Structure 1
Amino acid sequence: MWGWACLSWRYADSVPAPTLVERPFPRSDAGPGGTPVTRWHQRAGRIAVLTGAGISTDSGIPDFRGPRGVWTEDPVAELLSTYDNYVSDPALRERSWQSRRDNPAWGAEPNPAHLALVELERAGRALTIVTQNVDRLHQRAGSNSQRVIEIHGNMFDVVCVDCAYSATMAETLERVGAGEPDPPCPECGGILKAAVIMFGQALDQRTLLKASLAAETADIFLAVGTSLQVEPAASLCGRAVAAGASLVIVNAEPTPYDSMATEVVREPIGEALPRLVDLILGQ
């Protein structure tokens, strides 16, 4: 089902998608198939939501590619997200562990966008959240963990790259604070890393299957706070549209999938998503 075995940048054609050109995205009177944009929210049935870093910025967690994004302000930090760099460079791992200790996500709280999705779920809508985020703010907001698919893993667990050892991030960071700048696996001496999928690392195939199924069975597919530049998550938009879903994109910057969308929203996510949820619920 999936043609991608690892996380990769979306700079080339790989799924049915618009040409990757940055251009104005005027609102049209009709979306794919002539569906009026004023009526997409009236579709009954399943809703799938793909969320990216932009949904958590109002919680105090910076995104990656925005004007004040982590990688924008510190390009070297992007190296920390590449698997080959991480496993081959002890100095980079030490910096990575230190950055985890200082991560603003530890003190973050859910914001109105997260809470709006909880409201949608509690209203009885068949909702699945596929998140690229590792902060678990959806679950903290009250979303059913069984309905949240963490396609890129999570920041709360630690795994060994060489054996089956796993631990909590909290206990591993205690080791860092106690003087182990690059704590080795206590069972095999191998390299430890957060249970987060890095660029160049294989994704869990069962997780991908669940995400694909959510996209392909959705009547409405919302892409919220994501640049849609990372595969295979981005291609869920194309899969959803190909299966007949209405695609609504809520993001501050243009994305490669905007011309495929029924509606594109450029408003702040914390304001736009609650409004869209009210629209879906007929409020």
Structure 2
Amino acid sequence: MDPDQAIERGAALLADAGAILIAAGAGIGVDSGLPDFRGTTGFWRAYPPLARLGLAFHDMANPATFDDDPHLAWGFYGHRLALYRATRPHAGFAILRAIAARAPHGAHVFTSNVDGQFQRAGFSGIVECHGSIHYLQCTRPCCHAIWPATAIAPEVDMDACRLVSPLPQCPNCGMLARPNILMFNDGAWLAGRTEAQYERFAEWRAAARRLAVIEIGAGVDIPSVRRMAESQGVPVVRINPREAAVRNGVALEMGALPALTLLAEALGIDKDQI
């Protein structure tokens, strides 16, 4: 199928939908200027101090780092928190909202991203399967509390990727706090907030009719998003510049914003709606 045909086929699937599931991985954020952590090279390009230390993403996204070197761990996550707070979602998010507005049962989002970009773009039904950097928990954890990170403003020395402001603390026990994110080798993640999101998604999915799935920027290394998209039993409109092949659906081998822009044109979505 040539690219023009793929766009037309994808637009037709979305136009006929009664409900839209948006399944999104890290690739959707690239057009907003967020770093792509694909592979060690991409990660080290974003964090040169960690390259000098020989630390890969899985080393930093690990609760053991909060035990071994909390200022380094919070240097990494503090920088990401500030970055995500300052980032505006690109126009593709508005296109997704315009597509969802046409479906009688609206849309729900399933994402592995922890950046909160979908909330900032105005979406409400969201499952964050790996949690959110905008919420904190105790590192122990001493209790099941999960609280917003709004009260902290991390200051990071990016020459060393180390936190120089006070370490966040658990308000219950005073121990070190950490982001409420599912990390590698993580037996301490508190899943309560995400479990509640899954419950709301299940209620929406039970009522949704004529579902269409649009999957964006989800790779195969951590396949959570692809598994959710493919488990729905309907064709998938898959947008990804690499490894986009899909057994049941349409593959658009391009970035998020270019693909969504072409889909909007094919659907006749007016620019005033975006």
Question: Shift of the alpha carbon at 1:221?
Answer: 0.9
Distance 1:213 1:81 in 2: 32
* Residue 262 of structure 2 is aligned to residue 275 of structure 1: yes
Please tell me the residue identity of whatever aligns with 1:51. A
Question: Structure 1 pair 138/220, CA: closer, same or farther in 2 (3 Å)?
Answer: same
Deviations 1:21-42 (A, max 9, x none): xxxxx769x99xxxx7684344
Aligned to 1:249: 238
Please tell me the residue identity of whatever aligns with 1:158. L
Question: Could you state the TM-score of these two structures normalised by the residue count of structure 1?
Answer: 0.70
Please identify, of 190-199 and 160-169, the stretch whose mean Cα deviation from structure 2 is larger.
160-169
Please identify, of 112-121 and 194-203, the stretch whose mean Cα deviation from structure 2 is larger.
194-203
Please tell me the residue identity of whatever aligns with 1:65. R
Q: Structure 1 unaligned runs (5+)?
A: 1-25
Question: Structure 1 pair 268/175, CA: closer, same or farther in 2 (3 Å)?
Answer: closer
On the 8 A contact 1:130/1:150 being kept in 2, the answer is yes
Aligned to 2:160: none
* Residue 197 of structure 2 is aligned to residue 207 of structure 1: yes
1:221 aligned counterpart, secondary structure:
strand
Distance 1:68 1:185 in 2: 34
Distance 2:263 2:175 in 1: 47
Aligned to 1:225: 217
Distance 1:87 1:179 in 2: 15
What does 1:79-118 align with in structure 2 at a 5 Å threshold? 79-83=59-63, 85-89=64-68, 91=69, 93-103=70-80, 104-118=83-97
Question: Could you state the TM-score of these two structures normalised by the residue count of structure 2?
Answer: 0.72
Distance 2:57 2:150 in 1: 22
1:149 aligned counterpart, secondary structure:
strand
Distance 1:38 1:122 in 2: 15
Q: Which residue among 54, 57, 70 is the counterpart of 2:30?
A: 57
Deviations 1:232-260 (A, max 9, x none): 433112211xx2x11111012115xx332
Question: Structure 1 pair 263/187, CA: closer, same or farther in 2 (3 Å)?
Answer: same
* Residue 142 of structure 2 is aligned to residue 162 of structure 1: yes
Distance 1:208 1:228 in 2: 22
Question: Structure 1 pair 113/42, CA: closer, same or farther in 2 (3 Å)?
Answer: closer
Question: Structure 1 pair 238/179, CA: closer, same or farther in 2 (3 Å)?
Answer: closer
On the 8 A contact 1:54/1:251 being kept in 2, the answer is yes
Distance 1:213 1:227 in 2: 27
What does 1:189-204 align with in structure 2 at a 5 Å threshold? 189-201=174-186, 203=191, 204=194
Distance 2:246 2:197 in 1: 28
Please tell me the residue identity of whatever aligns with 2:24. T
Distance 2:204 2:25 in 1: 16
Deviations 1:5-64 (A, max 9, x none): xxxxxxxxxxxxxxxxxxxxx769x99xxxx76843443311101111111111111122
What does 1:6-17 align with in structure 2 at a 5 Å threshold? none
Distance 2:128 2:25 in 1: 11
Aligned to 1:138: 118
Deviations 1:114-162 (A, max 9, x none): 111121233355211112222222222223x1x2222222222211122
Q: Percent same amino acid at aligned positions?
A: 20
The root-mean-square deviation of aligned C-alpha atoms, in Å, is 3.4
On the 8 A contact 2:94/2:121 being kept in 1, the answer is yes
Please tell me the residue identity of whatever aligns with 2:21. A
* Residue 23 of structure 2 is aligned to residue 45 of structure 1: no
On the 8 A contact 1:252/1:267 being kept in 2, the answer is yes
Aligned to 1:15: none
Please tell me the residue identity of whatever aligns with 2:128. E
Distance 1:62 1:270 in 2: 15
Aligned residues: 242
